[in-house]
Amino acid sequence: MSEEYINKKIIVKGATKIFGKSSGRAIQMLNEGKTKGEILKATGATVGVKQVSFDVNEGEIFVIMGLSGSGKSTLVRLLNRLIDPTMGQILLDGKDIVQMNKEQLRDVRRKKIGMVFQNFALFPHKTIVENTEYGLEIQGVSKKERNEKAIESLRLVGLAGYEDQYPKQLSGGMQQRVGLARALANNPDILLMDEAFSALDPLIRKDMQNELLQLHHDMKKTIIFITHDLDEALRIGDRIALMKDGEIVQIGSPEEILMSPSNEYVERFVEDVDLSKVLTAGHIMKKADTVKVDRGPRVALRLMQQLGISSIYVVDNANRLLGAVTAQDTVEAIESEKSLSDVIISDLPMVSPDTVLTELFDVVSTASIPVAVINEEQKLQGIIIRGALIGALSGDNKFINTDGTMDSTEQPITEVV
Amino acid sequence: MDELLPRLPFADWIDTGVDWLVDTFGTVLDGFAEVLEGIVEGSVDLLNLVPSILLAFIFALIAGVISTRKIAFFSLIGLLFIDYLGYWYPMLQMLTLVLTSVIFALVIGIPIGILSSQKAGVRKVVNPILDLMQTMPAFVYLIPAIFFFNIGVVPGVVASVIFAMPPTIRLTMLGIQQVPKDLIEATEAFGATTWQRLFKTQIPLAKPTIMAGVNQSIMLSLSMVVIASMVGAPGLGEEVYRSVTQLKTGVGVETGLSIVIVAIILDRITQYAGNRKKKLGGNTL
Ligand SMILES: Nc1ncnc2c1ncn2[C@@H]1O[C@H](COP(=O)(O)OP(=O)(O)OP(=O)(O)O)[C@@H](O)[C@H]1O
Ligand SMILES: [Mg+2]
C-alpha cells in the first residue's frame, strides 16, 4: 500500500470562512488564536470554517462528520465555491479554484464536481428524466445524447422505468436516487454529498449506504460525504474528519477514530457508538491453533496436550480450513490406525472477518468449539472466543485488534513439534 | 396667522414639471397616442366585423381551450346575455381597453419584476414606488394622463396600465424569490448561468404566482374602466358613468352586471391557467 502512488484529488490549505461584516477584525482575532465564541462576541462575525487543511485521495470516500453548526455544510460548499472562502487555497487536481474566474469555475462545476443535497433539491416542474438531464442540458448537450446518458444514470441507481414521473410521485429514498443519478449523469470525478441520506428513514438509509458503496466500488469516484451520524461515517468512510466549531479535530480511518480518539471531544462523540454494530469478527479474533492435515493424528494430539486444549483446527498446506478434530477422536484414530481426515469434523461454525458482532452472537453462543473466521479463499484467519466477544462489547480495548486484522507476524499457525 | 415656515409650492412645482414634460416630449407623446388609439379603435372595429353570436362562440371556444368546459359554457351564456341586453359594442370597447392595458402592464411589469427579484438595488427603488402607487386613489392617475394625452381612450389606457401594473411586478418578484434556496443552490452547483437559472428554474416555478399577479392586474384594469370613462374612455364604463350621473338605475344595473360577467369570465380563465400545473404534481409553491 505504502509504495503505491496515491494521487491527491483535493488539497485544502488553511481554508477559512467568516460570515458577517467585520471579517477583517475577525481574521486578526483568528490569527491571535481566539475562539469562535470570542470572535462572535467581539465582532459579531460567525466563523463557519476555521483554518482547515486536509487532503483527499483520488477514489476515496472522505467523510466529514460533526455536530450541528460545526461547519460541515460550509466546508463542503467551499469545495465548489458555492460559498467563497475568506482565506485559504482549495486545489482540485492541483488547480486552485479560489483563483478561478466565473467561467473557469462554472466549467469545474459542470465537468468535475457533482453535488447531492440533503433535501434532494429536485426540480418539481421537471420529470425524473428531465431532472437527471439537468447538468447536461445546461452544458448544451443535444437532447438525444443527454436523454441516453440520463436513462443510463437512472438505471445505475435502480430507477429504470420511472423516467416520466414527477419527483412528488416518488418516495424520499427514490427521490434521493434521482439526486444521485442527476449528479452521476455529468460523470464528474468528485461527488459532494451533504447529509445526503439524513432525511431518509433508517432502513432506506442503510440500503442507500450499501448502494453508494457498490457504486463507488464500480465507478471509483472521489466522494466527500457529510454526515452527523457516526455509524454512517464508520460504515462508508475510508477516512473520517471530525469537525468542531469550524475546525477539524481529528482525521483518520474509522478504526483510528474509534480506537484512539485524539481528544476528549472525539472521545465523547465516539462514546455512544454501538460497538456491536461497528466492530467485526476481524476486530476480536485471536490466532488459531492449527495442525496441517498430513502431519497425522499423533502430532495433532501432542499439540493439543502442549497447548492444553481439547480440539484443534485442521488446515491443508495452503492454510485452507478443512475442519477440526477433538482430542478424543484423535486418540481413537491413533488406536485404530486411521488418518486425521477420517475423524475430522468438517461441519464447523464459520464467519467472514467483516461480520459485525451483532450477527456473531447467535453463532458463538450455539457453537461448542470456537468459531472459525475464514476469508473468501477458505483460509483460516483466526477464531472467535466467547470471552473476547463479551470483553469487546464491554468496551475493553485489550480484546480488540486496532486495525481490524491481525498483524501479519502473528500468522495463525502453530508448528511446535 | 403668520407662518413659521414658508409654505412650499409643491403643486406649482409639479405643474411646472408636467408642463415641461409636455413641451419637451409633446410630439413623441402625440405620436404614441395616435398609434395607441389606432390600435385600440382598429381592434374594436375588427372585432365588430364578426357577428356578435359567432364571436361569443369563438370567445367561449378560446376559454374552453385555456380552461375548462364549465368556464367555456358560462362564457358563452354570459356573452350572449350581454348581447341580448344590447351592450355588445360597449362591451367590445371595454374588453379591448382592458386587454390592451393588461398587455402593456405585463410587458412592462414582468421584466421589472424579474429585474427587481435579481438585484437588491433595484428592489430598493421599486418597492417604495409600488407602495406609493397602490395607496394612491385610482383617479389621481387620470390627471397626468389627461395632461399628456388629452381625453379619450388613450389617457384611459395609460391610467389603467399604471394602475394595473403593481400586482404583476410584486407577484413576479415574490414568485421568483420564493423559489426554494436549495433549488437555486442546485442550479449553481451544476454550473448554470444566471440566465439559465432564471429561465429554466425560477420563472417556470414562479409561474403560478406570476399568473396570480396577472389575474389581479386584469381585475384592477377592469375596475379602472368606470373611472377611465370620466376622461372620455368609451365602453361599458362610460354607460355606467352616464347612468349614474343621469340617475338611470335600471341601465346602471344592466351595465354593471355586464361588467361583472366579463370580470368573472376573465378571472376564472386566468385563475385556471395559473393553477393548472398543480394537478400534474408540477409545483410545490
Ligand atoms: N449564510 C450564513 N450566514 C451566517 N452564518 C452562517 C451562514 N451559514 C452558516 N453559518 C454559520 O456557520 C456555522 C456553520 O454552519 P454549517 O451550516 O456549516 O454547519 P453544519 O455543520 O452543516 O450544521 P448542520 O449539521 O446543522 O447542517 C454555524 O454557526 C452557522 O450559524
Ligand atoms: Mg449542514
Helix, strand or coil, per DSSP, at residue A88: strand
- Of B182, B189, B205, which has the smallest distance from its Cβ to A125's Cβ? B205
Residues B204, A125: C-beta atoms closer than 8 Å: yes
Domain boundary among A225, A245, A273: A273
Threshold 0.90, pTM exceeds: no
Domain boundary among A241, A273, A305: A273
Percent of chain B topping pLDDT 70? 95
On whether both A285 and A268 belong to a single domain, the answer is: no
Residues A186, B205: C-beta atoms closer than 8 Å: no
Could you tell which of A21, A65, A72, A75 is best to mutate to test the pocket of ligand 1, judged by most ligand atoms within 8 Å of the CB?
A: A72
Please report the pLDDT score of residue A262 as a whole number. Answer: 78
Distance (Å, whole) CA B215 – CA B102: 10
Q: Output B85 or A318, whichever has higher pLDDT.
A: B85
On whether both A219 and A75 belong to a single domain, the answer is: yes
Per residue in B101-121, pLDDT tens? 999 999 999 999 999 999 999
Helix, strand or coil, per DSSP, at residue A104: helix
Please report the pLDDT score of residue B1 as a whole number. Answer: 52
Q: Which ligand is nearest to the CA of A229?
A: 1
Q: Is A323 within the bounds of a domain?
A: yes
Please report the pLDDT score of residue A168 as a whole number. Answer: 94
Please report the pLDDT score of residue A99 as a whole number. Answer: 95
Domain that holds residue A216: 56-85+107-112+188-273
On whether both A207 and A244 belong to a single domain, the answer is: yes
Which residues line ion ligand 2, judged by CB < 5 Å?
A 73
Nearest-Cα residue of chain A relative to residue B182 = A121
Helix, strand or coil, per DSSP, at residue B35: helix
Q: Is A310 within the bounds of a domain?
A: yes
> Residue A206: which CATH number?
3.40.50.300
Here the ipTM equals 0.78
Q: Is B193 on the interface with A (CB under 8 A)?
A: yes
Please report the pLDDT score of residue B21 as a whole number. Answer: 80
Please report the pLDDT score of residue B83 as a whole number. Answer: 93
Please report the pLDDT score of residue A65 as a whole number. Answer: 92
On whether both A298 and A266 belong to a single domain, the answer is: no
Please report the pLDDT score of residue A1 as a whole number. Answer: 42
Nearest to A132 by CA among A147, A120, A143: A147
* DSSP symbols for A259-310: HS-SSHHHHHHHHT--HHHH-BHHHH-BPPPEEEGGGHHHHHHHHHHHHT-S
- For chain B positions 197-216, those within 8 Å of chain A (CB to CB) are 200-201, 204-205
Distance from CA of A81 to the nearest CA of B (A): 9
Q: Are strands A190-194 and A350-351 parallel, antiparallel or unpaired?
A: unpaired
Overall average pLDDT of the B33-60 stretch: 91
Helix, strand or coil, per DSSP, at residue B151: coil
Please report the pLDDT score of residue A413 as a whole number. Answer: 40
Per the prediction, chain B carries an average pLDDT of 88
Q: Which residues contact A105 (CB under 8 A, 6 or more apart)?
A: A81, A97
Helix, strand or coil, per DSSP, at residue A18: strand
Distance from CA of residue A298 to its chain's centroid?
Answer: 46
Which backbone phi and psi does A322 adopt, to 5 degrees? -100, -30
Nearest to B231 by CA among B144, B166, B161: B144
Q: Is A166 on the interface with B (CB under 8 A)?
A: yes
Please report the pLDDT score of residue A395 as a whole number. Answer: 67
- Using an 8 Å Cβ cutoff, are A80 and A14 in contact? no
Amino acid at A193: M
CATH class assigned to B10-280: mainly alpha
Q: Is A140 within the bounds of a domain?
A: no
Ligand 1 centroid from CA A17, angstroms? 10
Q: Which residues contact B264 (CB under 8 A, 6 or more apart)?
A: B74, B78
Ligand 2 centroid from CA A67, angstroms? 9
What is the 8-class DSSP label of residue A188? -
Distance (Å, whole) CA B98 – CA B92: 10
Q: Is A173 within the bounds of a domain?
A: no
Count of domains for chain A? 2
Nearest-Cα residue of chain A relative to residue B197 = A138
On chain A, the residues whose CB falls within 8 A of the CB of B277 are: 125
Please state, as a whole number, how many other Cβ atoms lie within 10 Å of the Cβ of residue B230.
Answer: 18
On whether both A303 and A267 belong to a single domain, the answer is: no
Per residue in B171-218, pLDDT tens? 999 999 999 999 999 999 999 999 999 999 999 999 999 999 999 999
Please report the pLDDT score of residue B3 as a whole number. Answer: 64
On chain A, the residues whose CB falls within 8 A of the CB of B211 are: none
Around ligand 1, the residues with Cβ closer than 6 Å are A 19, 46, 48, 66, 68-74, 228
E-assigned strand segments in A337-404:
350-351, 371-374, 380-384
**Ranges of chain A with pLDDT below 70:** 1-6, 272-274, 395-397, 402-417
Distance (Å, whole) CA B157 – CA B146: 11
Q: Counting one residue from A and one from B, how many pairs have CB atoms under 8 Å apart?
A: 67
Ligand 1 centroid from CA A46, angstroms? 9
On whether both A289 and A193 belong to a single domain, the answer is: no
On whether both A325 and A266 belong to a single domain, the answer is: no
**What is each CA distance from A302 to A291, A298, A315, A408, B260, in whole angstroms?**
10, 6, 16, 26, 109
- Using an 8 Å Cβ cutoff, are A249 and A53 in contact? no
> Residue A389: which CATH number?
3.10.580.10
Which atom from ligand 1 is nearest to the alpha carbon of A46?
Answer: 5
Q: Output B141 or B278, whichever has higher pLDDT.
A: B141
Please report the pLDDT score of residue A412 as a whole number. Answer: 41
According to the per-residue pLDDT averaged within each range, which of A290-299, B252-261, B272-281 is highest? B252-261
Q: Which residues contact A46 (CB under 8 A, 6 or more apart)?
A: A18, A19, A20, A36, A40
On whether both A318 and A393 belong to a single domain, the answer is: yes
- Count the alpha carbons within 13 Å of B14 in the hemisphere toward its beta carbon: 7
Q: Is A260 within the bounds of a domain?
A: yes
Please report the pLDDT score of residue B284 as a whole number. Answer: 40
- Using an 8 Å Cβ cutoff, are A353 and A381 in contact? yes
Residues B190, A125: C-beta atoms closer than 8 Å: no
Widest CA span of chain A, in angstroms? Answer: 91
- Looking at A84-127, list the stretches that DSSP marks H as alpha helix, in order from N- to C-terminal side: 102-111
Distance (Å, whole) CA A243 – CA A245: 7
Q: Which residue's CA lies nearest to atom 12 of ligand 1?
A: A48
Distance from CA of residue A314 to its chain's centroid?
Answer: 34
Ligand 1 centroid from CA B182, angstroms? 14
Please state, as a whole number, how many other Cβ atoms lie within 10 Å of the Cβ of residue A111.
Answer: 15
Residue B282 has pLDDT above 50, yes or no: no
Overall average pLDDT of the B241-253 stretch: 88
Q: Output A77 or B30, whichever has higher pLDDT.
A: A77
On whether both A239 and A378 belong to a single domain, the answer is: no
Q: Which residues contact A176 (CB under 8 A, 6 or more apart)?
A: A116, A120, A196, A197, A199, A200, A208
